[in-house]
Amino acid sequence: MATRYEMLMECNTAIPMRDGAVLRGDVFRPKADGKFPVLMTFGPYGKDVPLKEFMQEAWDAIEKFYPDIIANSSLKNLVWETPDPECWVPDGYIIIRVDARGCGKSPGRLAPNSPEEFRDFYDAIEWAGVQPWCNSRSYRNLLSRRRPVARRLAQAAASLRALPVDGHL
């Protein structure tokens, strides 16, 4: 039987950007020594807004059509377009949810799909890649609004290894 891990949650972790700004991310990781792969989301939807509050119809669909999800998670950490930490951390993954600049707990001006936002995302990936708990492999949950970013990140971010394309993690 594979090792199952307890979850450690670090809220509003400071993630420094190259221009001196600090973005905020929630880090959900195994409560154990070792290095683990990272699944990272980065976006404007608010890392702290529960799915039930953000989009009731999505919540209703989970309750109606996906009882297996409810059986395996309390859903208290489930937010829009992010992997559920309760489903991934026990299997040895780290989930990092970063509020884009100007959104949620990250100060600044929102600039969606801009070169500035691409740099911030790159910096967040590289920050994760050098943390003591990361095995230097970051996997980006690439959602539909992020597809224009994929080619640039895949060519540039040394710590990035994969780009799941549809958010169904």
Question: What does pTM read for this prediction?
Answer: 0.81
Q: What pairing do the DSSP bridges indicate for beta strands 36-43 and 94-99?
A: parallel
Amino acid at 126: E
- In the beta sheet, which residues pair with residue 138? 38, 160
Q: Which of 48, 23, 26 is nearest to 39 (CA)?
A: 26
pLDDT in tens, 49-82: 777 777 778 778 878 898 887 777 777 887 777 8
Banded model confidence at residue 32, pLDDT cuts 50, 70, 90: very high
In the chain the first and final C-alpha atoms are separated, in Å, by 23
CATH number of the domain within which 91 lies: 3.40.50.1820
Return d(Cα 27, Cα 133) in angstroms, integer. 11
4-26 confidence digits (pLDDT tens): 999 999 999 999 999 999 999 99
Predicted pLDDT of residue 166: 43
Domain that residue 107 falls in: 7-48+76-162
Residue 64 lies in a domain: no
Residue 81 lies in a domain: yes
Q: How many domains does the chain have?
A: 1
- Whether residue 66 is contained in a domain is answered as no
**Residue 161 or 93, more confident:** 93
Helix (H, G, I), strand (E, B) or coil at 2: coil
Predicted pLDDT at 46: 81
Quote the CA–CA distance of 112 and 146 in Å, as a whole number: 9
Look at residue 68 and tell me if it is in a domain. Answer: no
What's residue 55's pLDDT?
74
